Every structure is written in structure tokens, then in C-alpha cells.
Structure 1
Amino acid sequence: MRDSARLALGTLTALPVPAPRKLDQRVAGNAMLLAPVAALPLAATAVLVVLGGELLGLPALVSATLAVAAVALASRGLHLDGLADTADGLAASYDRDRALRVMRSGDSGPAAMVTLLLVLLLQCGALAGAVSAGHGAVAVALAVVAGRGVLVLGCARGVPSAREDGLGATVAGSVALPLAVLVPVSLAGLAVPAPGLPWWQGPLAVLAAFAVAGALLARAVSRFGGVTGDVLGACVESATAAALVVASV
């Protein structure tokens, strides 16, 4: 579990943690299960930014933008990079090998830029609505944790890796199906008493995050033949946006 915690924190955050001494499928699977816990430093950072903005009397959109930027900085922009590469891959070609080459190239095409812009606008706008409604801190904490929780879907057994190497190959199929189901159910249950939200809104935000991530994952698997690290990052950012939208209502 120590190696799993190191892998989760080292992959999902910019915290300077030692590298895992051992890396196998069991360690990778436990790391993905720990993703919501590893997201807590990111959530705490975003909450502090939102509360600080409220204390300083900043406009809701400014506070929201700073919070989204803080999460991106604290995670090294890893998931945003995955979102951009996945968008380019999906837009590149129906040829699987060509799409995977485009994703690995590192360049960002029009599809990547438009997708990044729209998803970030959606995140900032939704969070600004939650801030204006008085529950911005709760909304961003819930969205950040739920967004990282969806990683168990992409790493569930039965979801293949699109490549023989890379992060996707390391974590693909590492989470048992019962545990992959238990994570969203547990997060939805924990979200019931979310302060400032009706009892149903927190669980609905979690379920929306997993639904959007599942739809994107299914599309990526059908196009690429499996999951990659970029696809996992795209699922995280899309799920975070979905949770923020529901939490902003």
C-alpha cells in the first residue's frame, strides 16, 4: 500500500514523493483505488482559493478561474494534456494506429485547443455559479475528488490497453470489477451530507461524473482499441466538469 500511495500521489499531484519501490498490477490497482484520497490535497488547494476569493470579495468568475488554475498547477496539467491528446486522437482518423501516433506526437491541433477551451470554460463557469450560490468550496471539493475517482473505470478488468507500453498499459485491468463499482457508490454515499447542497445533489454530481467518464471511455475504447494514459486524463477532466455543472444548479 505504501508503494500504491506513492504512485497515486506522484502521478496525480505535484507533491515530491519517492518513487514506488515496486510497480506491478497489484500496486497499480491499489493506486487507482486510492485516487480519491490522493486528490484530497488538490481539493484542499481549490477550497482555500475559493474561500480566499470570497474573503477578498473577488468576483465569482475570478475565484473560480483561480481555483481551476490552482488544481491544474498542482497536478502539473497532466489531465489537461491527456484531454488535448485524446481530442486530437478522436479527430485525427478512424485508423487506430494513426490516431495513436497523433496522440503520442505531443503536438496540439485545432481539436485539442477547442476541446481544452470549452472544457475549461465549462469548469470555470459552473464553479462560478456555485460560488455565487454560496457553496463553491463544497462544489469544487466534490468535483475534484469525484473526477479522480473515475480512474477506476478506465482501469477496471475487461478494459484493455491500447498500447503495450505507457501508463495505460501499466494500470489497465488492474482494478477488480466489484471494487470499480464500489468506488462510485461509496463516493455518492459520502456526498449525501454535502454542506449547502440538497441531499440528492451531491450524489447526482458524483453519478454524472462517472456517467460522462464512462461514455468517453467507451468511445475511446471503440476507436483506439483500449485505454491510454491520455484517455484516463480526458476522463478526469470531463468528469470534473460534469460534477461541477450538477453542483452549480
Structure 2
Amino acid sequence: MSDKVDFVEGSHGPAIVEGPLTALSWLSILPIRGATAFDRITGARVITSVPFVGMVYGVIAALVAGVGIALEASPLLVGVLAVTAMELFGRFMHLDGLGDVADALGSYGSPAKAREVLADPHIGLIGAASGLLSLLAQTAAIGTLASTSWDIPLRLAAIAAGPAIGRLGVLFVCHKSCKPMKPTGFAAQIIGTIPTSRLLLWITSYAVVCVATLPFAPAFGLACLLALAVSCASAFVLSRHCHRRFEGLNGDCCGFVIHLCTTIALVVLALSY
């Protein structure tokens, strides 16, 4: 995500098509043609569709993990391969946002100084360490889930749930109560576009799916509900903290929250099995 993309006038297609396709074109390596107009309508549609993209990330991680389990690979190798597949699929975009925001938050300067650090293309020690530790945590969590006593379908479902739950975090960053750092650019298209009703609809939908699994796999359903609750609470706190520290949010903040919430969801799932 970049603040270099500015508003472009144009016509919009059906939201149910334009939103997911544009989200995939922005957030993955897939050669998909998305929207031709770039404005707050596009931004709202894309951010609303990010949880759907999270499901795609989850399926990719689960497929790679499933192959690893079938080949009797070590849990460590399964975790490394699954995380690598997700990062390659997303061009390491969210990891870049994590590093930039971590450096800015670690500066302990004024909001203006923090924004200056955030805009610096070079990564610092705090950003590099944050990226490394988050990747290690995701790798260990997926490796743990791949080697649990659950049936293999449940193991793969848990691995897929982590990235899907983690993407809900971007809805908090782009909530209507937040404001972009700049009135132009990419952040101005997405920050502040998501109403509370849309946020609650996604969270409720995920919760319903988790509850529906309770009669058949109670431990799995409870683990997913806990991961959902902790991840969403973390997204709220992180987005509010960034908003206060930077006096506004940008695209890097989206990547920061998505990456950390995905890590948090996977770790909670791994600790709850």
C-alpha cells in the first residue's frame, strides 16, 4: 500500500465485483484488473473486501501446510513454507508496513517526527526486529497447528483461520472515526470509509461461523472465537494508538495492523488447541 496513488476519476462497476477484484489486484500478485476509478468509493469497496482476500491467504497457507503434512515434513518446515507462500503472494506488502510503523512508533518523537520516520524508505533496527520476530511467531504457530492432535482437516482449517481473522484488523484502521494523514493520496481513499455497521457485520459473520463449528469440534470453535476476540481487540488498540501518535493514519498503518493481527490470531490458535 502506498500514499503515492492519487485520486483518479472514472466510472464504477458493481460493488460486489469491483471490491473483491480490486482488493486482490492491490493485495496480491495475481494479474487481476480492478477498478479504473480511484476514490473513496473504491477505497470503501476494497477495504470491505479485504477479509475475503484474507480467506484466500488462509487457503494458500492451508494448502501448502497440507502438502507438507502429507509429505511428513517437520512442523518447522511446514511453518516456514506456509509463511513464505503467504508473503510471496502478497509481495511482502504488510511486512513492509509493519517495519515502517514499528520504526516510527519507536522514535518517541513528536507526531511530526514520527511521520517523518514513517516516510523514510529505509528500515531501522526496530522495524527489522519486528518483522523478524513476527515471522518467527507465525512460523512457530503454523508449525504447532500442523502437528496438533486434531484431525488434519481441523488443523488446516485452523491454519486458514489465522490470516482470515487477521485481515479484519484493517477495518478498524479504516473506520469512519479515523482520519488520513493527508487529504490526498492512497490513505485519503481508504481511511475513514468503513462504517461501524460494516465492521460489525464482518465480525458477526466470522463469529457465527465459529459458533456453528462448536457442536462438531468444540475445541476448534472455541479457539477460533478466542482468536477472533483477541485479534479484534488488538486491532482496535493498535489503530487507536497509531492514530494518536501520528495524528492520522496511512497505508503503512493498514499493513502494520494486518500483519500483527494475523500473527496474534495464529499464536492464539496455536496456544488454544
Q: TM-score, normalised by structure 1?
A: 0.94
SS at match of 1:17: coil
Instruction: Return the match for 1:183 from 202, 216, 226.
Output: 202
Larger Rg: 2
Count of residue pairs brought into register by the alignment: 249
SS at match of 2:46: helix
SS at match of 2:105: helix
Counting aligned pairs with the same residue, the percent is 27
Instruction: Return the match for 1:147 from 160, 166, 170.
Output: 166
SS at match of 2:79: helix
Counterpart amino acid of 1:184? Answer: I
Q: Is 1:27 aligned to residue 42 of structure 2?
A: yes
Q: Which has the higher mean CA deviation after the structures are superposed, 74-83 or 180-189? A: 180-189
Q: After TM superposition, give the deviation of residue 213 of structure 1 in Å.
A: 1.5
Q: Is 1:161 aligned to residue 176 of structure 2?
A: no
Q: After TM superposition, give the deviation of residue 164 of structure 1 in Å.
A: 2.8
Q: Which has the higher mean CA deviation after the structures are superposed, 214-223 or 10-19? A: 10-19
Instruction: Return the match for 2:242 from 189, 195, 220.
Output: 220
Q: Is 1:109 aligned to residue 120 of structure 2?
A: no
Could you tell me which residue of structure 2 aligns to residue 57 of structure 1?
Answer: 72
Residues in 2 aligned to 1:12 and 1:191: alpha-carbon distance in whole angstroms: 26
Q: After TM superposition, give the deviation of residue 132 of structure 1 in Å.
A: 1.3
**1:126-141 paired onto structure 2 within 5 Å:** 126-133=141-148, 134=150, 135-141=154-160
SS at match of 1:108: coil
Instruction: Return the match for 2:82 from 63, 67, 72.
Output: 67
Counterpart amino acid of 1:212? Answer: S
Could you tell me which residue of structure 1 aligns to residue 192 of structure 2?
Answer: 173
Q: After TM superposition, give the deviation of residue 74 of structure 1 in Å.
A: 0.2
Q: TM-score, normalised by structure 2?
A: 0.86
Instruction: Return the match for 2:103 from 84, 88, 91.
Output: 88
Instruction: Give the alignment's Cα RMSD to 1 decimal.
Output: 1.6
Q: After TM superposition, give the deviation of residue 89 of structure 1 in Å.
A: 0.7
Q: Which runs of 5+ in 2 are unaligned?
A: 1-14
Residues in 1 aligned to 2:231 and 2:52: alpha-carbon distance in whole angstroms: 17
Residues in 2 aligned to 1:6 and 1:63: alpha-carbon distance in whole angstroms: 29
Q: Which has the higher mean CA deviation after the structures are superposed, 20-29 or 44-53? A: 20-29
Maintained 8 Å contact 1:128/1:136: no
Counterpart amino acid of 1:177? Answer: T
Residues in 2 aligned to 1:120 and 1:199: alpha-carbon distance in whole angstroms: 25
Q: After TM superposition, give the deviation of residue 73 of structure 1 in Å.
A: 0.4
Residues in 2 aligned to 1:59 and 1:169: alpha-carbon distance in whole angstroms: 45
Q: Which has the higher mean CA deviation after the structures are superposed, 117-126 or 73-82? A: 117-126
Maintained 8 Å contact 1:87/1:111: yes
SS at match of 1:45: helix
Q: Is 1:13 aligned to residue 28 of structure 2?
A: yes
Q: After TM superposition, give the deviation of residue 6 of structure 1 in Å.
A: 2.7
**1:184-199 paired onto structure 2 within 5 Å:** 184-192=203-211, 193=213, 197-199=219-221
Residues in 2 aligned to 1:30 and 1:172: alpha-carbon distance in whole angstroms: 12
Q: After TM superposition, give the deviation of residue 94 of structure 1 in Å.
A: 2.2
Counterpart amino acid of 2:184? Answer: D
Residues in 2 aligned to 1:9 and 1:36: alpha-carbon distance in whole angstroms: 11
Counterpart amino acid of 1:182? Answer: L
Could you tell me which residue of structure 1 aligns to residue 253 of structure 2?
Answer: 231
Maintained 8 Å contact 1:8/1:35: yes
Counterpart amino acid of 1:62? Answer: L
SS at match of 1:160: coil
Residues in 2 aligned to 1:168 and 1:204: alpha-carbon distance in whole angstroms: 31
Q: Which runs of 5+ in 1 are unaligned?
A: none
